[in-house]
Chains A and B, each alone.
Chain A
Amino acid sequence: MISDCFLSWGSFLLNTNLVIILSSFSQPGAAVSTSNDTYWMHQAPSLQVHHPVPPQNNYQSPLETKPLYETPFQGHQRATYPQEMNSQSSFHQAPLGYRQPTQTAPLVDSQRVSKVQIPTNPRIASNLPSGFTKMDKDSTAASAAQAPAYVSVSMPKPKDHTTAMSDPGTFPKSLRGFVERAFARCKDDKEKESCEVALRKIVKKAKEDNTLYTRDWDTEPLSTVTTTNVTNSESSSAQLSSLQNKSPTRRPKSRWEPLVEGKPFVKPASTFSSAVKFGVWNHQNENNKKSSESFQKVDAATGFKPTYSGQNSAKKSFQRPVKRQRFSGGAATAIDDEASSDSDKDLTPYYSSAMALAGSAEEKKRRDSRSKRFEKIQGHSRGNDLTKPKNANVGNLHSRRATALRLSKVFDESGSRAVEDIDWDALTVKGTCQEIEKRYLRLTSAPDPATVRPEDVLEKALIMVQDSQKNYLFKCDQLKSIRQDLTVQRIHNHLTAKVYETHARLALEAGDLPEYNQCLSQLKTLYAEGIEGCSLEFAAYSLLYITLHSNNNRELLSSMSRLSEEDKKDEAVRHALSVRAAVTSGNYVMFFRLYKTAPNMNSCLMDLYVEKMRYKAVNFMSRSCRPTIPVSYIVQVLGFTGAASEGTDEKETDGMEDCLEWLKTHGANIITDSNGDMLLDTKATSTSLFMPEPEDAVAHGDRNLDVNDFFTRT
Chain B
Amino acid sequence: MAELHIIGQIVGASGFPHKSLFCKWGLQTGCAWKLLSGLREGQTQVDNPVIQDMAYWSHPIDVHYATKGLQGWPKLYMQVWHQDSFGRNELCGYGFCHIPSSPGTHDIQCVTWRPLGTWQEQLSQMFVGGGPQLKHSDLIYTGADRYRLQTMAMGKVHLQLSIILRNFDQYGVEY
A, B bound: no
Residues of B bordering A, CB below 8 Å: none
Residues of A bordering B, CB below 8 Å: none
